[in-house]
Amino acid sequence: MALGILLHALSMMNSDLGLDAHVRLNAAMDETATGQDLAWGNLRVEDSTRQTPDDPGEYNGYIPPWFASETSVKISAFAGVLGVALLAGAVPKWSIQPGRFDPTPAALVLLSPIFLFVSGRGYDEGLLALIAGLGVIGFLFNQGALRHERLLHVLMMATAVLLLLGWKGFGMMFCLGAWALTLVVGFAWVMIEDGRTDRIGTWLRHPWKMGGLAAVLVLLAVFVVGFFGDVPTFRIVRERPLAYALATLTAAAHASIVFLLVGFMLWPMVVARWSSFSAWRGPGPTMVVVYATVLLAGISSYIGALWTLEASLWNRSLPETMLVLGNNGRYATAILLPLLTLLRWIEPSNPSSKGKEGRNIGFAAAALVPLMLFIALFGQQLWSDDAGAWLADITEEEECFLMVAPETLAMHHLYVIKSHVDLTGERDIDAYWRTPEQAQPWLDGHPACAGLILV
């Protein structure tokens, strides 16, 4: 664990703050308007000719009050990761494992390149994983064998869903509706399942059947919201349903395999328990599996919608957009603690394979060492971060400038520059973005800004 903490410290020192973190920092710190305003315009603009600082946008997600500097953002990100590691290592009261803390899963969390990236870039996936972990934290104390225990678990899961949706910027009524729906469905399941020994009871306690059904229902619900609702991110569903469906399926596989099983070195534990999983039954396991699959289906739908929407706005193909936004798969770390709960609950299929599992975890970690060291020692840099530092030295108050760039992540990079040039808005600097084709016509109409152009 000490090595993992050291790697996180190095990653935070050597990496630039991430694009999304810069956007949130600007929304929190700009004082030119009340609320979480984006002073230089919305992130998603269909046409760069519509971008102007005279028409500010708004950031809808939750921004913690301690978002005040690059340092505080990165410390917050690491604190979330450390909290996940501590919960991952907590040994349930009902476990036959000696001791109250197991350093192995905690070390896997801290050594994961995914969370090293999160800490270095100042992203909030660690905090979101902690929030999602609220839904399964009760299983540290019991296995949901009694009805009142299961009812409490449902309440915790519903509350975690509410907080996750609120953090990501969904409207209050949408969040409360999801909370109420989770409570109603969960309580109904507990009351119907309790004590039944017939086919229905057996089916309701089958983790994989219930998990699969829940995931399908979530995916169908997202389609309904996309076609008939007014959630901005999901409007693209009715415009490009086939592209969205393909993006969602790709996101589910990409997030679960690359980011969870490989990125957190969990595949040896899954392989060792594979045959045991198929025969696993019970109300407690069913609750955890359904919770995890619902979260994964929802997250995959969200990523799929983002990929499809950005592909449309950037005039790029869907595969190209998936490559550019591939790190969106990190959102799936929200189900890390539910997944670890499942893996801790059941022993390997063959008791003699415990040693093989340990060796495979060692191999999995060794294969990721180059990536761990690269993220920690070299980090990741943004061209716009360097450009912003340069512009900060040469711009004066009430000046304006033009950034010429293609559509891909252009507004994100503009806010990276703003972090250096005019984070609080007190210098009253205006910035514009135009594509190369639109730059000259814009300059002809704005000669006062022609003296400073960033290409």
> What pLDDT is attached to residue 60?
86
Q: Average pLDDT over the chain, rounded to whole?
A: 90
Check: CB of residue 166 under 8 Å from CB of residue 175: yes
Check: CB of residue 218 under 8 Å from CB of residue 335: no
Of 125-129, 314-318, 377-381, 429-433, highest mean pLDDT: 125-129
- The token pair that represents 389 in the structure block: 């530092």
**What percentage of the chain exceeds 70 in pLDDT?**
97
> What pLDDT is attached to residue 261?
95
The length of the chain is 455
Helix axes 283-314, 336-345, angle to 10 degrees: 150
**What percentage of the chain exceeds 90 in pLDDT?**
61
Tracing tokens 């969990």 back to the chain, one arrives at: 266
Give residue 33's identity as a one-letter amino acid code. A
Q: Using CA atoms, how far apart are residues 440 and 120, in angstroms rounded to an integer?
A: 38
Q: Using CA atoms, how far apart are residues 346 and 148, in angstroms rounded to an integer?
A: 23
> What pLDDT is attached to residue 257?
95
Residue 108 scores a pLDDT above 90: yes
pTM for this model (two decimals): 0.92
Strand duo 400-404 + 453-454: pairing: parallel
Residue ranges per structural domain of the chain: 171-347
- The token pair that represents 424 in the structure block: 């609080």
Mean pLDDT throughout 328-353? 87
Residue 41 scores a pLDDT above 70: yes
Give residue 211's identity as a one-letter amino acid code. G
For residue 408, the SS3 value is coil
- Between residues 156 and 346, which one has the greater pLDDT? 156
Give the pLDDT confidence of 207-244 residue by residue, as tens digits.
999 999 999 999 999 999 888 887 778 889 999 999 99
Round to the nearest angstrom and report the end-to-end CA distance of the chain: 44
Check: CB of residue 377 under 8 Å from CB of residue 14: yes
> What pLDDT is attached to residue 98?
76
Q: Using CA atoms, how far apart are residues 205 and 150, in angstroms rounded to an integer?
A: 12
> What pLDDT is attached to residue 15?
93
Residue 105 scores a pLDDT above 70: yes
